[in-house]
A and B are shown apart, each in its own frame.
Chain A
Amino acid sequence: MSATNVKRILLVDDNPLFLKILVHAFTKSGFECASCFSAAEGIEYLNLNTPDAILSDYEMPGMNGIEFRKHLIKDPILKDIPFVFLSYITNSDLMSEGLDLQAVDYVIKETPVNVIVSKITNLIDTFQKQRELSVQEIKRAAIALNIRTVPKVAPVVNGFDIDFWHQAYQDVPGGDFIDFIEVDDRYSFIVLGDVMGKKWVAWFFTFSFLSYIRAAIRFGILNRDFSTAGILQKVNSVICYDNALKDILSTMSLLMIDNQEQTVTYSGAGDLPMLHYKAKSGELEQVGTDGLLLGLFQDGGYTELTIELQPDDELFIFTDGLIDYEDKGEKKSDYNLFKAKLDSMLKDKLSFQQIKQNLIQNLSPDLVDDCSIINIHKQ
């Protein structure tokens, strides 16, 4: 379903007059219509667009409706768009051939146009409801299993205030994950990552990532290895060896707080550079490390930086959803623009609570990705 909740339909028919009648009826009912005179034109349209339903004539010159459906069924995304055949033919064999191809329904062309529109509307609503039910069921299962990719509360670390904000794409838990690991009285770790790819699939993979990270941190500590770069390399090696994760890539920012020395050590894997607000000078500085996405190559080339924070200094780590914005209907990404906005809020002495409020208020209604940001404030 499109983000604006306007239903979008692709109408395919070689009869220009009938197509015009359909477009008129669907538009009148609030649909956004795309019309094509042939299956080939329809395929071209579907290369760039994903409508909520497809209504296609059965008999067309060139590729007929059955061949059109056979073509779409090969595509992992297009095959799931509700597809309805439209025809004068009432041959039951042809109908069953169409339905064997997982077409959702069959409409006889003599059916009044308003009935066709109602049928498609109900069909899209049913699909949407089924999706919502599936989402609810997975959410319930996740709660029952007590698995979370974002913690409920931030940790309490002596000498620091730690807080975060996370907004899932369309409230569906996605690829962003956050973890806080308190190892002992001295060391705490902060993890922020984004599994790149399909939202629900990404969500499941984050559990594997989190398990590997937790294990790598625990093993590191047992061996008295307090290198964030070393931990990232260990996680990366395991991921590169794991066949189940071979096509999955993830960013990660890893921070280790040493509250005895009052320092923060930072390593990144293909993450957006961290921002360091220096209270004394009022400057907001970009802090980047080397290091490639987890799962890309066996040697990720990770490096680390140890930062000594002064009183009221702040660190911000965030995922790419935060640097997206919309300008005249076009989506764009601009790290420097986000940095400038944050800089301005910090210059206005806004607390992280107020910054969170500001980010929520300015969230694009067409948000296309998860948004996550973690703030570390040195007391």
Chain B
Amino acid sequence: MINVIKEGPKYIVSEVSITEANLSNSDQFKAELISLLDQHHKIIILDLQELKYVDSAFLGALVSSLKYAISLQLDIVLVGLRTDIKDLIKLIRLDKVFKIYNYADDALFAINKD
């Protein structure tokens, strides 16, 4: 469900291969994301460009994984969000807790600058 496509010293870039993220796959998504954080111990840049729909169970899994990342002093950065999903994230104020960029390269630039 989550494929690593690039790895750097401080980060990994990964993409999510599902189009509909809901209750049926949110547990698996969270388990994979937690496992990536445990294995690599790096900031995860998550490319969500394939996603066309998310429900609250998926957003819950995403936020819960972010809490875990923060406890490890890491981060999860979101890129490639469709406009409607980005709008939903902003409406429920999750843009205050996730760093969001249009493209993975923008996120990499920001991470490398820090």
| A249 and B64 within 8 A (CB) | yes
| B92 and A272 within 8 A (CB) | yes
Give the docked Cα–Cα distance between A249 and B94 (Å). Answer: 12
Chain B 49-87, CB-CB to A under 8 Å as 1, else 0, gives 000111111011101100100000000000000001101
Contact of A270 with B by CB under 8 A:
yes
Give the docked Cα–Cα distance between A331 and B21 (Å). Answer: 10
| B94 and A270 within 8 A (CB) | yes
| B60 and A249 within 8 A (CB) | yes
Contact of A292 with B by CB under 8 A:
yes
| A270 and B64 within 8 A (CB) | no
Q: Which of A301-321 contact B (CB under 8 A)?
A: 301, 319-320
Give the docked Cα–Cα distance between A133 and B14 (Å). Answer: 41
| A291 and B56 within 8 A (CB) | no
Q: Report which of A75, A175, A288 forms a contact with B28, defined as CB distance below 8 A.
A: A75
| A50 and B97 within 8 A (CB) | no
Q: Report which of A48, A175, A271 forms a contact with B92, defined as CB distance below 8 A.
A: A271
Known: A249-B64, A330-B53. A272 touches B91 (CB 8 A): yes
| B1 and A48 within 8 A (CB) | yes
Q: Which of A193-201, A226-234, A258-266 contacts B (4 or more CB under 8 A)?
A: A193-201
Q: Which of A278-303 contact B (CB under 8 A)?
A: 288, 290-293, 296-297, 301
| A47 and B59 within 8 A (CB) | no
Q: How far is the CB of A83 from chain B (nearest CB, A)?
A: 17
Q: Report which of B17, B22, B87 forms a contact with A335, defined as CB distance below 8 A.
A: B87
Q: Which of A72-96 contact B (CB under 8 A)?
A: 75-77
**Using a Cβ–Cβ cut-off of 8 Å, how many residues does chain A contribute to the interface with B?**
40
Chain A 34-55, CB-CB to B under 8 Å as 1, else 0, gives 0000000000000110100000
Q: Which of A362-379 contact B (CB under 8 A)?
A: 368-369
Dominant secondary structure at the A interface: loop
| B91 and A197 within 8 A (CB) | no
Contact of B112 with A by CB under 8 A:
no
Give the docked Cα–Cα distance between A253 and B67 (Å). Answer: 22
Q: Report which of B25, B64, B87 forms a contact with A247, defined as CB distance below 8 A.
A: B64
Give the docked Cα–Cα distance between A273 and B22 (Å). Answer: 22
Q: Report which of B20, B23, B55, B94 forms a contact with A320, defined as CB distance below 8 A.
A: B55
Chain B 12-32, CB-CB to A under 8 Å as 1, else 0, gives 000001101011111110010
Give the docked Cα–Cα distance between A196 and B63 (Å). Answer: 10
| A333 and B93 within 8 A (CB) | no
| A197 and B18 within 8 A (CB) | no
| B84 and A331 within 8 A (CB) | no
Give the docked Cα–Cα distance between A323 and B55 (Å). Answer: 10
Q: Report which of A288, A296, A319, A324 forms a contact with B67, defined as CB distance below 8 A.
A: A296
| B1 and A292 within 8 A (CB) | no
Q: Which residues of A contact B28 (CB under 8 A)?
A: 47, 75-77
B residues apposed to A, CB below 8 Å: 1, 17-18, 20, 22-28, 31, 52-57, 59-61, 63-64, 67, 84-85, 87-88, 91-94, 96-97
What are 16 contact pairs spanning A and B, CB under 8 A?
A47-B1, A47-B17, A50-B24, A75-B31, A77-B24, A77-B28, A196-B56, A197-B26, A199-B23, A247-B64, A293-B63, A331-B22, A332-B52, A332-B53, A333-B54, A333-B85
8 nearest interchain CB pairs?
A196-B60, A331-B53, A196-B56, A270-B92, A197-B60, A249-B60, A47-B1, A50-B24
